Structure 1
Amino acid sequence: MAKLILTRHGQSLWNAVNKFTGWVDVPLSERGRAEATIASTKLREYRVDVVFTSKLIRAIETAVCILTECDDICGGKIPIIQHDDDDPDWKGLDNYDNPDEVLPIFTNAALDERYYGNLQGLNKAQTAAEYGADQVQIWRRSYDIAPPGGESLEDTQARVLPYFNETILPYLLQGKNVMIAAHGNSLRSIIMKLDKLSGEEVAKLELGTAVPIVYDIDEHGEVTHKVVLDL
């Protein structure tokens, strides 16, 4: 039985000032790093074999903090970010004598937050005052309605799920424990699949910053148990 750990990134500097972030590459706030540290303590009884994150720094920071604040999670392995194969400046493990000591962290844009288009950088409260709170909620949480110039959750899911099915799921089917540190909407895309949610149901789904969700995944890729570590 494999474990799949989903963790939204900790609070970012733009979360802290209530701005739409999307693909803007904003780092964690002090609170966000503290949230990731707390998440690490909640996960200390778990062992991780492989990690996936988006390309955005707030997700990468969250993953690294979780893995390094509590060494037990790594099971004695060293977490190392695996850069793209076509980047010649970041090779270096070719001659490493013990690859079993490495806990790989793979980054991929398929796991990036949804693109918020014309809303990126705008204050959420001010945007609600201009367009109406109901309209902004539709842009933020509906399944198939995109914000102006941006992606809907359906659009986001169209890039997230192929990557999940083709790259991440095979590790789970091999019995490997996987952690994904990503974003509210890329994770909602995965949770919609795992929990078999409708578009209406996923619209009501809220994910807290750096709150781990742990799934037990059987050899057929089916969920047998789920727990949210929010206490």
Structure 2
Amino acid sequence: MASTALFQAVRTLQSHGCFTNFGVQQENGNPTLRLVPKGFRADIGLSRRWSYCSRGRSIVVSQASTSQTSVFDPVLTPSNNKTVDSRKKSSEAALILIRHGESLWNEKNLFTGCVDVPLTKKGVEEATEAGKRISNIPVDIIYTSALIRAQMTAMLAMTQHRRKKVPIIMHDESEQAKSWSQIFSDETKKQCIPVVTAWQLNERMYGELQGLNKQETADRYGKEQVHEWRRSYDIPPPNGESLEMCAQRAVAYFKEYIEPQLLAGKNVMIAAHGNSLRSIIMYLDKLTSQEVISLELSTGIPMLYIFKEGKFVRRGSPVAPTEAGVYAYTKNLAAYRQRLDEMFQ
């Protein structure tokens, strides 16, 4: 009976144009249907894993034995299959880059790299001020590094956003973590912004310099040697990463996971670090290896790009939320700001 019901469900879905082909195979004695929807692939078996279409978009629903249901949006779930159709480019999307606020080791003038230290009081204030600057710019998904100073910056910035949506860190490190962090209210989900953490966006690893005082290191090794480690493109510090090595992982992650979101029309914020963001800006602005080493990013200062027709256009840093003209970079952003004004009058 389960097989009959399954076939009837598939026939109904196929009649609505959701599937172009399907077949049957045996797995552990149970019939399993292998379906090929338009632009998406999924396996449907008697474990009650169903794939269906809604308004031209594929959605995967997994139903557990306890009858709890969770819905995964393929646009917000990065994968190597690139479920976002890169051929269909959105007309426009916003990309916000923010270097984290001052950290406790910034304050102490120590090499930090991948050591996980939090923000100072000044860093908290910088992150909050950054949030005020972007409070009228739409944000659909946030990416941060795996380090607390970047995550704190993203969270604090979003407390200032006029939409008042709650940033929620997505935990996918294990099936249990994903299961335990589910949200069971559709209304609550609408008021949340997913936050994806990725080690590929971490600061570059400074190797044996991490934890050393910068001035003392210059006195020990010489200013020229330390400057070469810090500012050259392809020379790493002892047992650490060069900017080139950092760029390889950061840009690869941006291309594979973040750029498809922009293509899908999602407005993205990235809170990360000086060198991982320099690497991404090098890609966005097509800078040379010589140009990028002279690029300096201040802590807590957001940078806005507009992604339009497959190209990135830098719009600088928003000045203040009270200056209406700052956000009128494009028709879409101007319209978004107008909606916010009407919503919160």
- Both proteins in one fold, TM over 0.5: yes
- Other-structure match for 2:136: 45
Matched, 1:100 2:181: no
Shift of 1:96: 3.2
- Other-structure match for 2:315: 226
Higher RCO, 1 or 2 (CA under 8 Å, sep at least 6)? 1
Matched, 1:84 2:175: no
Shift of 1:130: 1.5
Amino acid paired to 1:204 = S
- Other-structure match for 2:305: 215
C-alpha RMSD of matched pairs (Å): 1.5
Q: Deviations over 1:26-64 (max 9, x none)?
A: 000111001111111111221211000000000000000
Q: Give the 5 Å matches for 1:149-228.
A: 149-220=239-310, 222-228=311-317
Q: Is the 8 A contact 2:101 2:149 kept in 1?
A: yes
Q: Is the 8 A contact 1:22 1:114 kept in 2?
A: yes
Matched, 1:21 2:112: yes
Q: Output the CA distance in 1 between the equivalents of 2:268 and 2:220.
A: 42
Secondary structure in 1 matching 2:143:
strand
Secondary structure in 2 matching 1:59:
helix
- Other-structure match for 1:7: 98
Amino acid paired to 1:162 = A
- Other-structure match for 2:58: none
Name the structure with the higher strand share.
2
Q: Is the 8 A contact 1:112 1:182 kept in 2?
A: yes
Q: Output the CA distance in 2 between the equivalents of 1:114 and 1:8.
A: 13
Shift of 1:93: 2.1
Q: Output the CA distance in 1 between the equivalents of 2:319 and 2:112.
A: 24
Q: How many residues align?
A: 227
Secondary structure in 2 matching 1:71:
coil
- Other-structure match for 2:233: 143
Matched, 1:57 2:148: yes
- Other-structure match for 2:125: 34
Q: Deviations over 1:91-141 (max 9, x none)?
A: 332533243332001101010110000000000111111222222122112
Amino acid paired to 1:111 = L
Q: Output the CA distance in 1 between the equivalents of 2:193 and 2:140.
A: 6
Shift of 1:87: 5.3
1:71 to 157, 161, 173: 161
Name the structure with the higher helix share.
1
Q: Output the CA distance in 1 between the equivalents of 2:240 and 2:107.
A: 22
Secondary structure in 1 matching 2:193:
strand
Q: Is the 8 A contact 2:136 2:161 kept in 1?
A: no
- Sort the Cα spacing of 1:36 and 1:94 in 2 relative to 1 into closer, same or farther, 3 A: closer
Q: Output the CA distance in 1 between the equivalents of 2:134 and 2:315.
A: 14
- Other-structure match for 2:215: 125
- Sort the Cα spacing of 1:135 and 1:228 in 2 relative to 1 into closer, same or farther, 3 A: farther
Q: Output the CA distance in 1 between the equivalents of 2:319 and 2:219.
A: 31
Secondary structure in 2 matching 1:11:
coil
* Percent of aligned pairs sharing the same letter: 51
Amino acid paired to 2:184 = N
Structure 2: runs of 5+ lacking an equivalent: 1-91, 321-345
TM-score normalised per structure 1: 0.93
Q: Output the CA distance in 1 between the equivalents of 2:108 and 2:204.
A: 19
Secondary structure in 2 matching 1:181:
strand
Q: Output the CA distance in 2 between the equivalents of 1:128 and 1:142.
A: 15
Q: Is the 8 A contact 2:171 2:177 kept in 1?
A: no
Q: Is the 8 A contact 1:175 1:219 kept in 2?
A: no
